[in-house]
Amino acid sequence: MKRSGLILAILMLPVLTGCSDKEPWTNLLKKDLSAWEQLNGTAPFKLEDGIVTGTTVTSSPNSFLCTKEKYGDFILEFETWFDPQMNSGVQIRSESRADYQDGRVHGYQVEMDPSPRAWSGGIYDEARRGWLYTLDLNPEGQKALKVGEWNQYRVEAIGNSLRTWVNGIQCADLLDDMTPSGFIALQVHSIGNDSTRAGLEVKWRNIRIMTEELEKYRHPDTKDIPQANFLSNVLSDREAEEGWKLLFDGKTAAGWINAKTENFPENGWEVADGALTLNPDAKQPGGGGDIVSTGKFRNFKLSVDFMYSKGGNSGIKYFIDTEKEKGALASIGCEYQILDDRNHPDALLGMPGTRTLAGLYDLIAPKNKRDNGFGQWSRAVIIVNGNKVQHWLNGFLTVEYEKGTDAWKEVVAASKFSKVKGFAETEEGRILLQDHGDRVWFKNIKIREF
């Protein structure tokens, strides 16, 4: 009997072990949709045979089927099929508040994109900052989606880390802390009044979530794809390894001086709420002015988060030589324009578009621009590699040029800088934040030199 009992116990070990290692998933789809509620739009959702189907309708804003429960840290998996004529998404850590755009759903959206752009698995900040993670620099991720077929998604939202996979291929690696928790929502995208696109379907099934033992079941960290960091004035471990440096610590004005006096302004510029801000209300005679980095840079990638007030005007300049001509040209250089295009008259001046947001001021008009508008944070990226320069806004390339070419000489000759001797010929210079008299905020100012 003892021997039989021992054999039975040994035979049961794998079963007991399997039970203890069972992943703690919870299905979000029950027999009905009573645990969900619809917000904003009127596109119908139905649940049949374990599949939620949403259908496009005309004259409706985006429609969202939202969980009534809120989730902070979790691992989410789902399968989805959607008509190749439409894009969609799944909201995570999202909100709908009466004090924000009359209850409009906003927050992180995991993209479902059948277009040639192929950004499925990217992360979009719905009704807020726009694109946080595109797939332009992740070609393998762009191949992950199987258009017109069922696709499997995985989302890991743990602490400040948001990561996504489509069909087992990692698509996004984002660090952000704007919204630590919120509901999960299924989206049917608005089609406006386009009746030819009415009746298109998007489907979800096998929606399950894990909220316990997340460190045990999360996928290991890798460096296979780029990481995007939106944490305020903090370098990630990976950024530090890659050579990024903060130009603003979020607490002091260390590393910044007035472009002409070599001291940080006594008033006008402030450090408040983790941002370096030009406050015209606090500016006194002789205060403010353009400020520049104490360091000089030649080849680099500069990333700056900025926000402007309604009708605001400012800029980020580079190749600044504060010593040239005894300081007479201390604020002259190539400028990444910051402007409220919708509400500032300068947008209509100069050659068409050359004085608008994300352009090269008075020289080259921007393209592919995604402007979040006043009162919202946007991200500017400037890349300088020799004479080749790029401007990026919110993940989109807006300007690309090469100094010293015939084309460059032509645009300079047609601009207000035509009479500035040696304009932009400096190969190494400071970074400048412009005082144009309007309220503007800067944070997450960081640079990586090549």
* pLDDT tens sequence for the chain (450 residues): 444 444 444 444 444 333 446 899 999 999 999 999 999 999 999 999 999 999 999 999 999 999 999 999 999 999 999 999 999 999 999 999 999 999 999 999 999 999 999 999 999 999 999 999 999 999 999 999 999 999 999 999 999 999 999 999 999 999 999 999 999 999 999 999 999 999 999 999 999 999 999 999 999 999 999 999 999 999 999 999 999 999 999 999 999 999 988 899 999 999 999 999 999 999 998 889 999 999 999 999 999 999 999 999 999 999 999 887 666 677 899 999 999 999 999 999 999 999 999 999 999 999 999 999 999 999 999 999 999 999 999 999 999 999 999 999 999 999 999 999 889 888 899 999 999 999 999 999 999 999
Residue in this structure with the two tokens 């607490």, named with its chain if needed: 251
Q: Which residues of 370-382 are buried (b: 16+ CB within 10 A; e: fewer)?
A: ebbebeebbbbbb
- Asked whether residue 299 falls in the same domain as residue 183, the answer is no
- Asked whether residue 169 falls in the same domain as residue 209, the answer is yes
Q: Determine the Cα–Cα distance for residues 397 and 137; give it in Å rounded to an integer.
A: 12
Last residue of a domain, which of 203, 229, 255? 229
- Asked whether residue 220 falls in the same domain as residue 266, the answer is no
CATH of residue 199's domain is 2.60.120.560
- Asked whether residue 172 falls in the same domain as residue 259, the answer is no
- Asked whether residue 434 falls in the same domain as residue 404, the answer is yes
Residue 1 lies in a domain: no
Structural domain count, the chain: 2
Residue 110 lies in a domain: yes
What pTM value is reported for the model?
0.89
- Asked whether residue 70 falls in the same domain as residue 185, the answer is yes
Pairing of strands 130-133, 51-55: unpaired
Residue 118 lies in a domain: yes
Domain that holds residue 77: 26-229
As a three-state string, the secondary structure of 287-318 is CCCCEEECCCECCEEEEEEEEECCCCEEEEEE
Residue 112 lies in a domain: yes
- Asked whether residue 221 falls in the same domain as residue 258, the answer is no
Residue 339 lies in a domain: yes
